[in-house]
């Protein structure tokens, strides 16, 4: 079955405005399927095939002549030499739009190639795994618990057929990822050490990043941990969330927080074998925080918003999970693994930060929870509990 993607309109709009576009995202997020669905008459070439990648990289002009435009070029990071030929082809017919539709799963190397060769000629869009609102919209007549969405994750393959076993999928996914992306990018001597590193990162999802501690736990050098983390970022497996730092004279914490981009992969790496195991785990709060951030970022991409997302933690130890800065105003979000809420003391940090922000604070702030009915907690003005899995208005006009 086809699950409609929120990013579709942005992809179509970009194809109408630019000669080329590239959709970046981790493997199996649905990049190729999205382009082939939206541009079903386009030619197609997969550079995942070594022979095709070698031809595109070494004889790019000849390679491009073999296709009728528009053409979908899948996993273009394997042919960096192709980009200079794309530039020449685009400049020969600069007024034509939507000619080269590309996908890639190595963000940093692609960004560098695009900035060097296709600046101003190519739109760049990022596709994550399925948002919870996309999953729920695809199954309007079925009751799907939030815990299942978190545990199963957002990879489209696991929702095309809900009988697919997530543990088998993720076991294969990790093995393929280690063999293809990690070995190719880093030429790591011991993939077993890198897999241990991957699982150690999973245990830290939702926490401040301490590279020295992470390296020590795995038994590797700090510089190696830094390089390996860069690979996880580049391949869209993890992200680093920066602290809000409006006033440089304030002593705000400067370390980023580490998050996995998909909670299904996170649950697999944590050894959580069922949704019930997730609900009972002491790690449920960190997994939930990871899920909430994922929904915020997917909504931002769908809205095409320039809003920025941070976390708040100051030298006094006051913490708020997420800070959305948009149009000069700030909205605060606390992630709570709860369906009901009765303790206003849990919102003391949020209220303190709201008061400190003064006029910059939005009129309403949110508790991202598992409630099925959005409501305002009794006795707390300007704060609303929202149903995170079904909430799509993270970047709606205030």
Q: What structural domains does the chain harbor? A: 8-126 (3.40.50.300), 143-241+248-286 (1.10.10.10), 291-390 (3.40.1350)
DSSP per residue, 141-168: TS---HHHHHHH-S-THHHH-TTS-HHH
Calculate what percentage of the chain has a pLDDT beyond 70: 95
Dump pLDDT digits (tens) for 176-203: 887 777 776 666 567 788 889 999 999 9
pLDDT band at 249 (very low <50, low <70, confident <90, very high): low
Instruction: State the average pLDDT over residues 290-318.
Output: 93
Measured at the CA of 105, the angle between CA 67 and CA 28, to 5 degrees, comes to 95
pLDDT band at 248 (very low <50, low <70, confident <90, very high): low
pLDDT (0 to 100) of residue 108: 67
C-alpha span between 73 and 94 (Å, rounded): 19
Distance, CA of 278 to chain centre: 21
pLDDT at 187: 60
Query: Which pLDDT belongs to residue 218?
Result: 92
Helix, strand, or coil here: 298?
A: helix
**What does the pLDDT look like over 117-168, one tens digit per residue?**
888 899 999 999 999 999 999 999 999 999 999 999 999 999 998 888 999 9
Which position has the token pair 């304030």? Answer: 250
Mean of pLDDT values over 217-237:
91
What is the rounded distance in angstroms from the CA atom of residue 35 to the CA atom of residue 292?
A: 27
> What spatial distance separates the first Cα and last Cα of the chain, rounded to whole Å?
35
DSSP designation for 242: P
Alpha carbon distance 316, 127 (integer Å): 37
**343 has pLDDT over 80:** no
- pTM, two decimals, is 0.93
pLDDT of 104 higher than 60: yes
When comparing pLDDT for 47 and 109, which is higher? Answer: 47
Alpha-carbon 166 to chain mean position: 19
Q: What pLDDT was estimated at residue 120?
A: 86
| Range 266-274 average pLDDT | 97
Orientation of helix 284-303 relative to helix 263-270, angle to 10°: 160
pLDDT of residue 59: 95
Q: Packing angle between helix 107-117 and helix 222-234, nearest 10 degrees?
A: 70
| d(C-alpha 123, C-alpha 17), whole Å | 8
């Amino acid at each position: 079955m086809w699950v409609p993607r929120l990013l579709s309109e942005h992809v179509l709009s970009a194809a109408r405005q630019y000669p080329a576009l590239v959709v970046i995202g981790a493997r199996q997020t649905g990049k190729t399927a999205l382009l082939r669905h939206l541009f079903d008459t386009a030619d197609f070439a997969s550079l995942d095939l070594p022979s095709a990648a070698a031809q595109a990289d070494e004889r790019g002009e000849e390679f491009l002549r073999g296709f009728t435009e528009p053409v979908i070029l899948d996993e273009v990071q394997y042919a960096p030499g192709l980009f200079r030929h794309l530039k020449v082809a685009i400049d020969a017919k600069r007024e034509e739009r939507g000619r080269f539709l590309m996908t890639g799963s190595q963000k940093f190397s692609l960004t560098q190639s695009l900035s060097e060769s296709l600046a101003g000629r190519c739109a760049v869009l990022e596709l994550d795994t399925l948002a919870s609102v996309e999953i729920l919209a695809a199954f309007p007549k079925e009751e799907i618990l939030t815990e299942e969405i978190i545990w199963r994750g957002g990879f489209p393959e696991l929702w095309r057929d809900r009988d697919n076993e997530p543990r088998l999928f993720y076991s294969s996914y990790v093995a393929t990822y280690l063999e293809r992306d990690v070995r190719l990018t880093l030429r790591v001597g011991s993939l077993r050490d890198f897999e241990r590193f991957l699982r150690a990162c999973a245990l830290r999802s939702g926490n401040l990043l301490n590279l020295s501690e992470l390296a020590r736990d795995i038994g590797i050098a700090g510089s190696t941990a830094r390089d390996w983390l860069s690979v996880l970022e580049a391949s869209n497996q993890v992200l680093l969330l920066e602290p809000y730092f409006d006033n440089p004279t304030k002593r705000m914490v400067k370390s980023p927080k580490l998050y996995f981009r998909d909670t299904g992969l996170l649950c697999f790496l944590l050894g959580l074998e069922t949704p019930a195991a997730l609900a009972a785990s002491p790690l449920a709060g960190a997994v939930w925080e990871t899920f909430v951030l994922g929904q915020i970022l997917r909504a931002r991409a769908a809205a095409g918003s320039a809003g920025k997302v941070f976390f708040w933690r100051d030298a006094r130890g006051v913490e708020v999970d997420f800070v959305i800065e948009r149009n000069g105003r700030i909205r605060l979000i606390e992630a709570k693994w709860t369906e009901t809420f009765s303790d206003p003391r849990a919102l003391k940090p949020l209220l303190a930060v709201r008061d400190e922000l003064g006029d910059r604070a939005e009129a309403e702030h949110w508790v991202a929870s598992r409630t099925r009915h959005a409501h305002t907690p009794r006795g707390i003005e300007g704060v609303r509990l929202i149903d995170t899995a079904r909430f799509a208005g993270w970047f709606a006009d205030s």
